Amino acid sequence: MAQEYDGRESWRVFRIMTEFVEGFEELATLGKAVTIFGSARTKPANPYYRDAVATASLLSKAGFAIITGGGPGIMEAANKGAFDVGGPSIGLNISLPHEQETNRYQTISLDFHYFYARKVMFVKYASAFICFPGGYGTLDELFETLTLVQTMKIEAFPILLYGSEYWSGLIDWMRKRLISEFIDAEDIDIFRIVNTPAEAVKQVRGGVRKHWWRPLDEELAASGKARRPALSPLGGTRVAESGEGTRYGKRPIKSPSKHAKAGKKPTQ
């Protein structure tokens, strides 16, 4: 039986709006930043933890703020790397049924109840993304960011996957299963793989100055010319020439045929 509407759901809007407003106010003057994703389960003895510390430290010295999910593991490592050299270290913490422990290496700490409000903050103020090994949450953050770039909802910021040993199987699967049928060939080049902190920082700095990816129109692919996205008046991001900002047009193409009529409800 459907739950009766009592009006309380509408009040959630104000809580959601509060999270956005607080995030916008706290991070609006952040400057250049790199968002680092990765597992909460990675221990300090793990080489990836040490590499995340070193990567964040080098990025901070290069003038980038560091943004993480605020928890333990890779998130803690990245915040620590920035914190130890006196750089801005932002933690976007999330309330979970099994409470996520906030790491102590944050100069700005924000708390979120809603994943989607938190995800906006991961992307809105970042100039680049580095994805260390992780589980479902890390993969979710990676593929959402890839989708935003692929569809040109955000600028084609550099996206790096750290650790070829971890990521190579997934990349092989993507090349075998996704290209042509589900994604365009150039979409596999939205990200790059790195294996050392120095290489990661070099790719970030170069990719921020000049983005390495842009989509190709089919009719221009043969000539090697790519469609250049126009500069958006909103937030300085680059989007397609269309008003909606996707690479495939202003709005979904409507079918010339009438909608199919719903059939009978299935009987149990």
Mean pLDDT estimate for the chain: 84
Q: Are the C-beta atoms of residues 59 and 82 closer than 8 Å to each other?
A: yes
Q: Is pLDDT above 50 for 268? A: yes
Q: Are the C-beta atoms of residues 56 and 90 closer than 8 Å to each other?
A: no
The pLDDT value recorded for residue 235 is 37
pLDDT tens digits, one per residue of 46-74: 999 999 999 999 999 999 999 999 999 99
Q: Picking from 9-23, 56-70, 158-172, 230-244, which range would have the lowest pLDDT averaged per residue?
A: 230-244
Q: Is pLDDT above 50 for 234? A: no
Q: How far apart are CA 117 and CA 183, in angstroms?
A: 27
Q: Are the C-beta atoms of residues 213 and 190 closer than 8 Å to each other?
A: yes
Give the number of C-alpha atoms closer than 13 A to the C-alpha of residue 151, restricted to the C-beta side: 14
Q: How confident is the model at residue 267 (pLDDT cuts 50, 70, 90)?
A: low
Q: What percent of the chain has pLDDT over 90?
A: 63
Could you identify the residue written with the tokens 């959630």?
12
Q: Which CATH architecture has domain 25-217?
A: 3-Layer(aba) Sandwich (3.40)
The pTM of the full predicted model, rounded to 2 decimals, is: 0.81
Question: Residue range 262-267: average pLDDT?
Answer: 60
The pLDDT value recorded for residue 12 is 82
The pLDDT value recorded for residue 242 is 35
Dihedral of CA 159/164/169/174: which sign?
Answer: positive
The pLDDT value recorded for residue 98 is 64
Q: Picking from 135-139, 215-219, 222-226, which range would have the lowest pLDDT averaged per residue?
A: 222-226
Q: How far apart are CA 145 and CA 154, in angstroms?
A: 9
Q: What percent of the chain has pLDDT over 70?
A: 76
Q: At 85, list the tokens.
A: 């050299």
Pick the more confident residue, 11 or 62.
Answer: 62
pLDDT tens digits, one per residue of 82-141: 999 999 999 999 887 665 688 999 999 998 888 888 999 999 999 999 999 999 999 999
What are the extents of the domains in the chain?
25-217
The pLDDT value recorded for residue 265 is 59
Q: How confident is the model at residue 4 (pLDDT cuts 50, 70, 90)?
A: low
Q: How far apart are CA 10 and CA 126, in angstroms?
A: 31
The pLDDT value recorded for residue 155 is 92
Q: For the residues of the chain, what is the DSSP string, one character each?
A: -PPPP-SHHHHHHHHHHHHHHHHHHHHTT--SEEEEE--S---TTSHHHHHHHHHHHHHHHTT-EEEE-SSSTHHHHHHHHHHHTT--EEEEEE--SSPPPPPS--SEEEEES-HHHHHHHHHHT-SEEEE-S-SHHHHHHHHHHHHHHHTTSS----EEEE-HHHHHHHHHHHHHHTBTTTB-GGGGGSEEEE-SHHHHHHHHHHHHHS-S-----HHHHTTT--PPPEEPSSTT-EE-SSSS-BTTBSSPPPPSSPPPPP-PPPP-
